[in-house]
Amino acid sequence: MSDQHEAEPAAAPYSATTTEDTGAPASGEPGGRQPLTGRLIIQTFSEGNTVVITILAIFVALLVGAILIVASDPVVLRAWDSFSYAPGTALSATWDSVAAAYSALFEGSIFSPATVAAAFHGGSIAAIFYPLSLTAFEATPLILTGLSVAVAFRAGMFNIGAAGQWIGGALVATWLGYAVNLPIVLHAIVCIIGAFIGGAIIGWIVGEIKARTGAHEVILTIMFNYIMYNLLTFMLSSQSLMQAPHQTNAVAPNIASSAMLPHVGGPPPQVGVGFLIALAAAAATSWLLNRSTIGFQFRTVGASPSAARSAGISVERVWVLAFVIAGGLAGLSATTIVQGQTAPLTFNSYGTYGFDGITVALLGRVRPLGVVLAGLLFGALNAGGTVMEAATGVPADVTNVIEAIIVLLVAAPPLIRMLFRLRRSRGAGAQAVTSKGWSG
């Protein structure tokens, strides 16, 4: 395992999955003979490679979600009371409950057949794409915080502080948005750059403390989250700082219309330029991590700090730089909310973007393309969850449970293999992620 990693630092920290990626096909046959394509496919499924495990994890999580929906549905529970003499009613009530919820989830996030029928009868064609537009809108901030977590992860660090960095970006973008007068396009760009810098500063402080003292970044970022929550409320509840005039609530002034991001799909909550920013950031991150010297250093430090040090890489500099970039990406996430929505910044605007970024990054295997896909999946669950709650009364929180279970299962491939009786993959990939504790 270690040989492979020293030779190929690209298969860096999120080990189990990455070694499966490269490990299963490459380790193949002992004599170096490549397996035939057909065999490879069978092997892929029977051993459970990355994609298969992710799909199975999503399946199990949806199943758990279904159980939650059914077990808390009074209609279904009443039907089950009379299971002994009307089993059909109980089963159909169960099916109806789950089917109603999940089809609302699907129609709210991806595609609703009703809109196609309407389009044929003179309705709007744009309405067909409305659910996808919602999904992309919801996915936008998640992709960016996911990238933030992923960049730090590739450099061997765990960034729980995307929420704090988000706030850093949000404060700068909001201030630039209402306090500065600039022409239309320039204003938005200045705000975006400001948000990146605002987030990067918070990330830089964390990286600097870690590099200078060796303090663990998990503790530092958790603490910075709380400092930033309180700082945000403090700034927004003081008239002399950032509170909107004549307000008693913790609310910032509305930013100028020249600083708003232009719409693409329609007014929020439909997809806007923020989504393009997220995609561009993903492409840039991908280039940075996989094609640039800095990215190579990141991955080397992530794979083994001591090896990186022997190779002449300044590990401390990498830590600081990785956190600066991670913070900046989290700041960009804030920009898509602050400048992408009409609502002003409030004391709880940060929502759960920071923590969702962790789950998105882990599900996306800390790779930019994976993060985009995972962000879209979570965006779909969030967008669909709202529609589901409105249509069936099932609280949208169930989607959070589904998301967390997906990540939990993806992080534990041996469990999925056990559940579905998959064979252990040959070679190095069988091990799960091993953790490094506080002292790493």
Partner 1 sequence: MTALATPVRAPVTISRRYLAAGTFIGLGLIDIFVFGLLAHSGDAVFALSLPGASPHLPSIHVPGALLAYLLGVISIGLGVLRAVVDLPRWGKRLTLAIVLLCFLLSLLAWADAGNVVGPLQVIDLLQGTLTASIPLVLGALAGLMGERAGVINIAIEGQLLTGAFVAAAVASVTGGVWLGLIGGSLAGGLVGALLAIFAIMFLVDQIILGVVLNVVALGLTNYLYDRVMIPYANTFNSGNTFSTIKIPVLSSIPIIGPVFFDANIFLYITYALILVVQIGLFRTRWGLRVRAVGEHPVAADTVGIRVLWTRYRNVILGGMIAGIGGAYLTVGSVGFFTSDISSGFGFIALAAMIFGRWTPLGSVAAALLFGFSYQLQTELSVLRVPVSSFILLMAPYVATIIAVAGLVGRVRPPAADGKPYVRA
* Binding positions for partner 1, rule: CB under 8 A: 1, 5, 13, 15, 68, 72, 156, 158, 160, 209, 211-216, 218-220, 222-224, 226-227, 230-231, 233-234, 237-238, 304-306, 309, 315-316, 355, 358-359, 362, 394-395, 397-401, 403-405, 407-408, 411-412, 414-415, 431-440
Rounded to a whole number of angstroms, the minimum distance from the CB of residue 345 to partner 1 is 16
- Closer to partner 1 at the Cβ: 115 or 225? 225
The closest alpha carbon to 210, from 323, 367, 335, 48, belongs to 323
Half-sphere exposure of 403 (CA within 13 A, CB side): 27
- The tokens of 385 are what? 């969850």
CA-CA-CA-CA torsion sign (169, 175, 181, 184): positive
- Phi/psi for 244 (5° steps) reads -65, 140
Rounded to a whole number of angstroms, the minimum distance from the CB of residue 109 to partner 1 is 17
> Residue 358 class from Cβ within 10 Å (0-12 exposed, 13-18 middle, 19+ buried)?
buried
Rounded to a whole number of angstroms, the minimum distance from the CB of residue 238 to partner 1 is 7
The closest alpha carbon to 142, from 306, 378, 381, 397, belongs to 378
- Closer to partner 1 at the Cβ: 15 or 109? 15
Strand partners, 272: 263
Rg (CA), the chain: 24
Rounded to a whole number of angstroms, the minimum distance from the CB of residue 223 to partner 1 is 4
- The tokens of 210 are what? 């870690």
Residue 349 contacts residue 170 (beta carbons within 8 Å): yes
Residue with tokens 């949208």: 396
- Closer to partner 1 at the Cβ: 66 or 191? 66
CA-CA-CA-CA torsion sign (336, 189, 165, 297): positive
Distances, alpha carbon 325 to alpha carbons 264, 330, 378, 418, 421, in Å? 27, 9, 23, 38, 41
- Closer to partner 1 at the Cβ: 144 or 250? 250
Rounded to a whole number of angstroms, the minimum distance from the CB of residue 45 to partner 1 is 21
- Closer to partner 1 at the Cβ: 95 or 226? 226
Rounded to a whole number of angstroms, the minimum distance from the CB of residue 151 to partner 1 is 16
Rounded to a whole number of angstroms, the minimum distance from the CB of residue 354 to partner 1 is 11
Rounded to a whole number of angstroms, the minimum distance from the CB of residue 72 to partner 1 is 4
- Closer to partner 1 at the Cβ: 263 or 423? 423
The closest alpha carbon to 134, from 107, 154, 168, belongs to 107
* Preceding peptide of 269 cis, ω within 30°: yes
- Closer to partner 1 at the Cβ: 187 or 417? 417
Rounded to a whole number of angstroms, the minimum distance from the CB of residue 326 to partner 1 is 16
Residue with tokens 């910075």: 224
Amino acid identity of 259? A
- Closer to partner 1 at the Cβ: 107 or 389? 389
Residue 163 contacts residue 225 (beta carbons within 8 Å): yes
- Closer to partner 1 at the Cβ: 137 or 355? 355
